[in-house]
Amino acid sequence: MIRFDVLTLFPGIFDGYLRHSLLDDAIRAGHVQVELWNIRDWSQDKHHKVDDRPYGGGPGMVLMAPPVVEAVEAVQAKATPPGQVILLTPAGIPLTQQLVRRLAEYPRLVLVCGRYEGFDERIRDILQPLEISIGDYVCNGGEVPAMVIIDCVIRLVPGVLGDQQSLLEESHMVPGEVEYPQYTRPRVYRGHAVPEVLLSGNHAAIAAWRRQQAEHRSRRRRQLLEDTSEEWKPMAPQQKEKVERVTETNRTY
């Protein structure tokens, strides 16, 4: 069982996410617990203000230290163990599968989501958190990064995945290594056939093909990462078949 305490100014963002698929199942089965806390509840201001203008000038607003520090301390005191405090920030250490594995060993993680221009530095000084970034880009808030952490970590909690075997061959289990291509029915789709070897029933040949494909993909990915100019090459235009379909589940926001 792992417990996540999420401190945010927008707890509602998590509602849909917590009620679907694997996470919903894991919560119902008692493998995962998620507690949402609104930082605003620890504001000492009569208008529940939690941010203010930066000293020294500059754009935007900064999250004030008192409500954040006091919220974290109060939440930590609500259960034992107090848990590892994680500050979501683009300046943190990058989230990798190796870090995800370490996080999955904690019984309790306290995730603090920033907003606006980020945190008053004294929040770091006082709480001494583990600072994590989900990548070298800037999101509007720490809520999506917190969901990314929850999403990756719960997969590793025993009992959450139906088949633990699927973890063994997954991408990034070995740093830099990614998974082989996967196929399911139909055998031929728009002229693209499933590789014959996968239909052969020859387990040794299938394992060898998958190993070779995984190595090829991993090598190709490493080359792409080294040669960043590749990402900007325009993609070949795709031949699109016009498919009109009546759908009852489309939603527009």
Reference 63, options 1, 117, 124, 27; nearest CA is 117
* Binding residue (CB under 6 A) for ligand SAM from 55, 137, 232, 253: 137
Reference 83, options 9, 4, 152; nearest CA is 4
- Residue 7 CB burial class (10 angstroms; 0-12, 13-18, ≥19): buried
Q: How far apart are CA 110 and CA 98, in angstroms?
A: 19
- According to the binding rule CB under 6 A, does residue 57 interact with ligand SAM? no
Q: Nearer to ligand SAM by C-beta: 8 or 214?
A: 8
Contact of 65 with 126, CB cutoff 8 Å:
yes
Q: How far apart are CA 153 and CA 106, in angstroms?
A: 10
Q: How far is the CB of 54 from ligand SAM (least distance, A)?
A: 10
- According to the binding rule CB under 6 A, does residue 88 interact with ligand SAM? yes
Give the interface segment with ligand SAM, choosing from 44-52, 87-95, 177-185, 236-244 (CB under 6 A): 87-95
Enumerate residues 195-214 that contact ligand SAM by CB under 6 A: none
Q: How far apart are CA 37 and CA 11, in angstroms?
A: 7
- According to the binding rule CB under 6 A, does residue 113 interact with ligand SAM? yes
Q: How far is the CB of 91 from ligand SAM (least distance, A)?
A: 6
Q: Nearer to ligand SAM by C-beta: 140 or 164?
A: 140
- According to the binding rule CB under 6 A, does residue 67 interact with ligand SAM? no
- According to the binding rule CB under 6 A, does residue 133 interact with ligand SAM? yes
* Binding residue (CB under 6 A) for ligand SAM from 70, 73, 117, 177: 117
Q: Nearer to ligand SAM by C-beta: 144 or 206?
A: 144
- According to the binding rule CB under 6 A, does residue 134 interact with ligand SAM? yes
Q: How far apart are CA 194 and CA 173, in angstroms?
A: 26
Q: Nearer to ligand SAM by C-beta: 2 or 62?
A: 62
Q: What is the x/- site pattern for ligand SAM, positions 145-164, by CB under 6 A?
A: x-------------------
Residues lying near ligand SAM in the complex (CB under 6 A): 88-91, 113-115, 117-119, 133-135, 137-142, 145
